[in-house]
Structure 1
Amino acid sequence: MDLVAPDRAYLDGYLDALRREWSPTTTDPGYWRAELARVSADPDLALAQFNERDGGGRTITLPDGTEVARIPGVVRWLWDGEFCGAINARWQPGTPDLPPHVLGHIGYSVVPWKQRRGYATEALRQMLDIVRTEGLPYVEITTQPDNIGSQRVIEANGGVSLGEFVEPEQYGGHLGVKYRIDLA
């Protein structure tokens, strides 16, 4: 399994996963609907936006409908000859701090039909190599207390639990678990 930059060569697999109601974000399971409409409406624009590392001066809409500035980041798709999922990293230049509405530096989601193959663990390992080039001393990643699989993925990549926290209201105010991975 490799990480690939979003590209026309892999787009049909991404669209197929969305049509199968897979969501590239775990904070909004219904996000696939809006994402399918956005990418289908203008695939070239969507691919360009996936590959913008600087935030593109655009906004994003949080699950509660709030619009906020998009921060710099990188999106990669998991590929084993077929589309397997997505991973993204985001950061603010010059600081490991994140805005209050950003739950963590890295988020990932593997399509259900490719889970339990070690893909998330390998994707996170590869993404950490990409993020190291940004000069961050560490990344923080959050997950749900009952998502043991995600906790194992993070721990397999050196993650240390910082404990539980309450997610911001934009995400429903649920209990989460925060991890830190040192990049030094």
Structure 2
Amino acid sequence: MQLVWPSREYLPSYVSALERGWSPDNLRPEAAQEELAAIRADAAGFLDGLVDREAKGAPVALPDGTTVPRLPGYRRWMWDGEFCGSIGLRWQPGTNRLPDYCLGHIGYGIVPWKSGRGYATQALGSLLLDAANEGLTYVEITTSPDNFASQKVIRANGGVLVEEFNKRPELGGSPELRFRVEI
């Protein structure tokens, strides 16, 4: 498995994953249909929007429908001959801190038919190098208390549990775990 930059070459396989029901946003399952619509409307624009180091894109919609300013960031795709999943990095320039509406620096998801192969662990390890290149000295990653697979991925990359908390109401209000990975 390797991390690739989203491009036309990989787009058909990404579209196939979306059409099979996978969503790149675990807080907003409807994101899959939104992305399919965006790809159909302007595939090149969609791909360009996945790499936004200057936060020029539109505000981000939260699960309750409110919007918040976009942070600099980008997504990479996991590839083993076909699309396997997505991993993204976001940050605030000049600091490790994130706004309170942003749960973590890194988010990832594996398509169900590729789970259990170690791809998320490998992708997170690779993305930590990118985070260091963006000036971060640590990243925070959150997951639900019952997502043992994600906790295993985070711990395998040096993650240490720093707190248990409830997400803000606009993010669903459910319990969450916050891990920190020193870079």
How far is the alpha carbon of 1:143 from its aligned partner?
0.1
What letter corresponds to residue 175 of structure 2 in structure 1? Answer: L
Kept in 2: contact 1:57–1:69 (CA 8 A): no
Show the counterpart of 1:62: 62
What letter corresponds to residue 86 of structure 1 in structure 2? Answer: S
Show the counterpart of 1:6: 6
- Superposed, which structure 2 residues align to 1:116-135 within 5 Å? 116-135=116-135
What is the CA RMSD across the aligned residues, in angstroms? 0.9
Kept in 2: contact 1:86–1:110 (CA 8 A): yes
Kept in 2: contact 1:73–1:90 (CA 8 A): yes
What letter corresponds to residue 126 of structure 1 in structure 2? Answer: S
What letter corresponds to residue 157 of structure 2 in structure 1? Answer: N
Aligned residues: 183
Show the counterpart of 2:37: 37
Kept in 2: contact 1:138–1:181 (CA 8 A): yes
Unaligned runs of 5+ in 2: none
1:177 aligns with 2:177: yes
Q: Percent identity?
A: 51
How far is the alpha carbon of 1:26 from its aligned partner?
1.5
How far is the alpha carbon of 1:58 from its aligned partner?
2.3
1:88 aligns with 2:95: no
Show the counterpart of 1:152: 152
How far is the alpha carbon of 1:15 from its aligned partner?
0.6
Instruction: Give the match's secondary structure for 2:32.
Output: helix
For residues 167 and 121 of structure 1, the distance between their equivalents in structure 2, rounded to whole angstroms, comes to: 24
TM-score when scaled to structure 2? 0.97
TM-score when scaled to structure 1? 0.97
How far is the alpha carbon of 1:57 from its aligned partner?
4.5
